[in-house]
């Protein structure tokens, strides 16, 4: 199967225009067909030993979202204390989630015991199943962008909150809580870059040739 130039260019456009969406969600629901394509994209991610360790919990109930939002708010207070001075003030002013605004939440988990205790590719690096699940999330993110659906990853929340609210078994690892929905706009740049939280690193400073270089010009 050959990818032509138009298809290649479309892929790069999607990659470069992908955004971590926290605001700008509308109340328009995601159609079943679109959601199916996004989940299928996640399910077709690479996985170590082809173990496909992921599960997807779809969250639409408002009470459930409210409970997750409360967990986020508590974790955000804790997080703010880790920043100093103006960074703490700036952090407290940034909107970092769209739990209630997004029509759909998806909790992505990893079943580390799927397909038995010995899996090809995990014999030396057992954490590879976790990385495989993250690959599924990235696939979903790109597929969502291709569908003009906004997606944001809420990482400022304790796993125990999601485990209790969503009744996730103890042996299942929680990888991500995602917010998805139609949006009124996609920002030209990542929001944290727009507001000056951090600049984008220069790619040339991140490439090493042959060996890790102690200093780079």
CB 98 within 8 A of CB 181: yes
Cα separation, 87 vs 78, in Å, equals 14
With respect to residue 162, please indicate whether it lies within any of the assigned structural domains. Answer: yes
The domain total for the chain is 1
| Strand, helix or coil for residue 115 | coil
CB 121 within 8 A of CB 96: no
With respect to residue 206, please indicate whether it lies within any of the assigned structural domains. Answer: no
With respect to residue 200, please indicate whether it lies within any of the assigned structural domains. Answer: no
Cα separation, 148 vs 138, in Å, equals 15
Strand partners, 20: 151
- The CATH number of residue 142's host domain is 3.40.109.10
pLDDT score at 216: 54
pLDDT score at 75: 98
pLDDT score at 213: 81
Could you tell me the CA-to-CA distances from 91 to 82, 83, 88, 99, 160 in Å, in that order?
10, 8, 5, 18, 24
Q: Which residue has the tokens 């207070």?
A: 77
Tell me, letter by letter, the H, E, C secondary structure of 79-97: HHCCCCHHHHHHHHHCCCC
Blockwise average pLDDT, block size 10, the chain, 217 residues: 97 98 95 98 98 98 98 98 96 96 98 95 97 98 98 98 98 98 96 93 94 72
Task: Give the global pTM.
Answer: 0.95
With respect to residue 7, please indicate whether it lies within any of the assigned structural domains. Answer: no
Domain limits at 166?
A: 20-186
**Taking the alpha carbons of 136, 141, 147, 151 in that order, is the dihedral positive or negative?**
positive
Cα separation, 213 vs 133, in Å, equals 31
């Amino acid at each position: 199967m050959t990818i032509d130039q138009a298809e290649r260019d479309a892929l790069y456009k999607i990659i470069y225009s992908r955004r971590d969406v926290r605001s700008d969600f509308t109340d328009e629901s995601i159609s079943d067909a679109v959601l199916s394509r996004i989940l299928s994209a996640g399910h077709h991610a690479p996985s170590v030993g082809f173990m496909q360790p992921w599960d997807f919990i779809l969250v639409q109930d408002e009470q459930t979202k409210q409970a997750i939002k409360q967990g986020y708010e508590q974790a955000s207070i804790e997080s703010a204390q880790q920043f100093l001075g103006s960074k703490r003030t700036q952090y407290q002013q940034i909107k970092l989630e769209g739990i209630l605004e997004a029509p759909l939440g998806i909790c992505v988990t990893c079943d580390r015991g799927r397909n038995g205790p010995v899996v090809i590719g995990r014999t030396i690096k057992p954490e590879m199943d976790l990385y495989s699940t993250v690959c599924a999330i990235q696939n979903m993110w790109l597929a969502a962008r291709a569908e003009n659906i906004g997606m944001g990853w809420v990482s400022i929340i304790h796993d125990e909150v999601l485990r209790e609210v969503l009744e996730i078994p103890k042996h299942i690892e929680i990888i991500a809580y995602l917010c998805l929905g139609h949006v009124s706009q996609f920002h030209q740049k990542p929001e944290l870059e727009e507001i000056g939280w951090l600049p984008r690193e220069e790619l040339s400073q991140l490439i090493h040739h042959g060996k890790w270089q102690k200093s780079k010009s």
